[in-house]
Amino acid sequence: MLDYIWVVLTAIAFGTGDIALKTAGQFFTALQLTFLRFFIGGIILLPLAIIDLKKRKYRLTGGDLAFLVLLGAVNICVSMNLFQAGVMRTNASLAAIIISTNPVATMIFAHFLVNDRFTKKKAVVLILSIIGLVIVANPMNALKSGNVGISGMLLVVLAALTFGLYTAMGKLRIDKIGGPATNSISFIAGSLINLVILLAGGTSPFAGINAQSVGSLLYCSLIVTGFGYLCYLRAIERLGASNASISFFLKPIIAVTLSAIILHETITVFSIIGTLLVLAGFAYNLHSNRSNI
């Protein structure tokens, strides 16, 4: 059960990311911020990747490198870019709940890619968690406000689907390569592809870096991206893609709590009820796994 600490740490890192990315977004474009945070995160994690590979006594093959480039392209160039573009075109709360339902896609892709069977237990966890997330987000308010962009919602749906694909794909070689190398190399590869896109569009990748922006940029790069994904892939390695993706059900709870503490936003009855449902799903998953030991 101690392995679930990686799920909780992932949720904390990603949960704080909403506030950090919003702050950093004042200084950088979406494509630029995605490049910077993943490139910096990948470089910082590179020494850990080298050390871990030496401990495993494993040397990367050409097939491994090709796989990591593909993994980085799916995650950074497709999923994260789609998500950033979608957030700009639709209501933020709806975007948050849509991306947090990516475990549905993960469990479907994992069923076919890595034989991570979609069980009755997982179905119960999904149902409880998704209902809880919808209640927390209270999307009816967004719909009434008229700020919902259909194109933005579709982009975030695609982001959630492709992130689910990325999570399932990560399990294919993580047992051999390890989390640090999977993170570092795929981050660097995906970021370099993003850099080409930036340069082709005539945008300087380093514009906006100054004394005001460097703090939020480093937090997004080191904590949200580096530490968060390291914990996430460690959770995949220890628990499987489906169980690791539960962190996304916990993420909104942390984000709502921090928003109340830092931004002084009100925690509503909907937030409390939804949180209890998500926690119920998480507790059920823990109890079921303990029973199987």
What is the count of structural domains for the chain?
A: 1
256 is a domain residue: no
Give the global pTM: 0.78
> What are the structure tokens assigned to 231, written together?
């914990």
Question: How far is 56 from 53, CA to CA, in rounded Å?
Answer: 5
| Alpha-helical regions (H) of 146-246 | 150-177, 179-200, 214-219, 228-239, 241-244
For 75, the enclosing helix (H) or strand (E) is: none
- Give residue 197's pLDDT band: very low, low, confident or very high (50, 70, 90): very high
For residues 251, 94, 100 and 227, what is the CA-based torsion angle, rounded to 10 degrees? -50
Question: How far is 144 from 267, CA to CA, in rounded Å?
Answer: 20
> What are the structure tokens assigned to 144, written together?
């009434």
Task: Determine how many CB atoms are found less than 10 A away from the CB of residue 288.
Answer: 15
Per-residue pLDDT tens for 19-59? 777 778 788 888 898 999 999 999 988 998 999 999 999 99
Q: What is the maximal distance between C-alpha atoms in the chain?
A: 57
Across the range 160-180, mean pLDDT stands at 89
CA atoms within 13 A on the CB side of 107: 20
66 is a domain residue: yes
Q: Which of 224, 104, 230 is nearest to 170 (CA)?
A: 230
- Give residue 91's pLDDT band: very low, low, confident or very high (50, 70, 90): low
279 is a domain residue: no
210 is a domain residue: yes
12 is a domain residue: yes
Across the range 281-289, mean pLDDT stands at 61
Question: How far is 111 from 103, CA to CA, in rounded Å?
Answer: 12
104 is a domain residue: yes
275 is a domain residue: no
- Of all residues in the chain, the percent with pLDDT exceeding 90 is 25
Grouping H, G, I as helix, E, B as strand and the rest as coil, residue 49 is helix
286 is a domain residue: no
List the domain range (segments joined by +) for residue 159: 2-119+147-245
